[in-house]
Structure 1
Amino acid sequence: MDAGGIDEFVAFLARRLPDRGIRSTVMVTDPAVSGGRLMRALQEEGIEVIHGYPSECLGWLREQRPDVISAHAPPDWLVQAAHELGIPVVETLHAAPTPIGTDWRAEGPRSRNIRFLIAVSDLVRRQYLRGNPAFSADAIYTIPNGFNSTHRQMTDRTAARKWLGLQDEFLFVSLARHVMQKNAYGLLVAFAEVAKLFPHAHLVLAGRADDPVYMKQLQLLHKKIPERHRIHLRDNISNPSPLLSAADCFVLNSFFEGWPLAPMEALCAGLPVVMSDVGGAREQIGLDGRHGCLVPNPLENPEAVTWDSVARERFRPQRNRAALVSAMNSIIANREYWATSRATLSSEAKVRFDTEACIQRYAQVLERAVVS
C-alpha cells in the first residue's frame, strides 16, 4: 500500500470505521507488494495489517472469522474462500473496466458470492449492471468516496509558491500514476498547445511510474515538445498539499475512472478542475462551470470505454484535444476570477465530499450484510 486512489481509500476506511463501532484489519493479498508508505502509517497508528501469501491470508480468515469483508479489487480465491466460510463480502467497484479487464462471462458466477456491491459513482454502477444484468440492482449501492482531510494539512500558498520558485507563473497540476488509464500522454499533447499561447503556463505531472513502457513513451514525447522546460514530470508525492496550495488549476484527462480522489482533493484545496468525462467527473465538477470545466472523454463515450480501446488509442490523436486545450486556456484567461473563488470552492467541496456521510453509509451497508 503506497500510492493510488484505492490504497488511499482503504486507509481511510480502516481509520474511520472504528468510529462507527467496526474494528478494522487491513489484508493485503498481493505477496509481491512490500511495505509502502500507507502500510507503514497504518501500522504506526495501531491498525492491524495482514500481508502474506494466499495460504497465510486464508489461515488468518479461518482462524479469525471476521463478521464481514469490505473488498477492494479482491482476488477470486479470497471471494471463494469467504463464501465457503460463510463470511459476507461487500465489494467496492472503484472503476469499470478494471485495470485487468472484466470477463463478464466469469463475473456472473463470481458475483453470486458477493452479498452487496458498492459503486463509487453512477457511471460505474451503470457500466457494471450493463455487463452483469443478472446481478440484483437492489444489491448495488452508489456511495461516492469521501475526502479524508484529517490526513492532509494545507500549506500556506505564498510559502508553497516560494518553495517552488514561482512568481507570476500559472501552474497546472496533475496527480496521477503514469499509466495509460490516466492518459498523461494526451494531456502533454494538449498542454503543448496551451504553452505556445501562454508563455507563463507550467504543468507538473506527479505520479508513480507503474508502467515503464508507457513512461518511456511519455518521456520521448516530452523531449519533442519545444516548451518542455515548462512541463515537469515528477515521481509520486506522498503529501501533495504544498503542490496543490501553489497550483492555480488541477487537470486530469483519464480514459476511465471510478471516483478519482485527486480532483476531489484539489477542489477541497480551492482549485478549479479541468477533467475528462469519466466516473465521478459530473458529480465532482458538474456541468455549470462553477467548479471548473468538464471536457469530453478522450474516446468520446465514457460508458463504452474498454481496456482494449484504451490500449489502441493511447498514443493516437485524441478526440477531446481541442476541448481540453480550450478549457485550460479559459482557466488561464479567467485567472483572477478563480483566484478569488478559492475559499468558496474549498468550503463548498468540503461540504459536498463530507467524510461523515461516506463512512456512515459504508457502515450501514456492512452492517446490513452481516444481518441479512
Structure 2
Amino acid sequence: MHVHLREPGFSHKETIESGARAAAAGGFTTIVCMPNTSPVPDDPSTIAWIKDRASAIARVNVLPTGAISKNLAGEELAPIGSLAKAGVVAITDDGHCIQNHEVMRRAVEYARMVDVPVLDHCQDYNLVGNGVAHEGYWSTLLGLPGWPAAGEEAMVMRNILLAELCDHPIHCQHLSAAGSVRLVREARARGVKISGEVCPHHIALTDEAIQNFETNYKVNPPLRSQTDVDALLEGIADGTLSILCSDHAPHADFEKEVEFDVAPFGIIGLETELGLFIDLLVHKHAKIDIVRLIEMYTIEPARLLKLDAGTLSPGARADVTLVDPALEWTVSVDQFHSASRNSPFDGWKLKGRAVRTIVGGKTAWKL
C-alpha cells in the first residue's frame, strides 16, 4: 500500500525488480509504489514506463500512483485526468506535502471527477521546519531540531475539512501522532471520507530509540512518544486506522552513515512488516486477531483503491499468501532481498511470518 521502489532515478537504493523480490519475500502479492522518483510520474508516459517495466521483471503486482503536482513541487497540478486514464490507482505527492490549501482542494475536486483516491503525506512545513526528531524529551536532550506532532495533525485536520467539502476520499499516510488518531476517529464518526494507515516502526519503537544517534531510527514522520504509540494501537483496535503499510524507504549504506541531522529519512520494511505486525498486534498487545489483520492488508486497501482484489471468491485472481502466525524467526538483514539494508530491526526475534507467496497462481517466493 505504501512502497518506495526508487526506480526510475535512484537504482542505487532499490529497483522495481529488487523491491518486488523483497515484497514477495515479505508475503505481499501486490504493492503500491510512490511517485518520488526521477523523473516524477506526473505524466502518462512515465506511468506507462513503470507499468511496462514492472510487468516485464517484477514477480508481484506493482500498482503505480501518480503525482498530485508537477515535479512534486506543490504548485501546479499534474494532469490528473490523464494520469487516471494511464492507470494510476491513486494520486499523491508522498515524500512531500502540498502546503497551498487551494491547490490541494482543486486536486481533490479533479480526483473526484475521475474517481481516484487522494493519498496525503501530512506535514506542515511551517510547523515542522528543520525538525528531524519528535519534539520532546529526547530531541531536547540530544540537541536535535524538534518535529512537533502538530506538524502532522494540522494537515490531517486540513484533509478532513477538504474531504468533507469535496465529498471525496482522502487517505492520510503513515500517521504517527495521538492527535491525528483522535481527529480521524471523530471525522469518521460523522461520515467524513477520511482514512489512515500505520507503519510497524511507529508502534514498535518510540523516540527513545534515537538516543545513540543511529540513523536507521530516523524516519518521516519521526518515532514519537509512548503516548502516541498507545493511541495508534487503540486506533487500530477500534477501526479508526484501517490499513497497515510499510513505507518501505530504501537508502544506500553511504547515505545513512552520516550525522543524524543530515541523514535521509526512511527505513526498509517490506521483509519485516508482516512479522512485526503479527508479533505486535496479534500476539504481544492482542489488539486485533489474525482475521482483522488480513482484512487490513486486503479488503481495506482494495476498497480504498477501488480494486477488484483482496478476496478468495470464486473467479478471483489467485494472489494468495500463506502465513504461519506461530512461526518464530530472527530478522537478518544479510538475508534480505532488498537492494538496501537500512533496517533498525536486525536481530529482532519475531513470531509470525509469510511462508509462501503466490501471485497469479504461481509461487513467487517460499521460505
| TM-score category of the 2 structures, normalised to the smaller one | 0.3 to 0.5
Larger Rg: 1
TM-score, normalised relative to structure 2 = 0.34
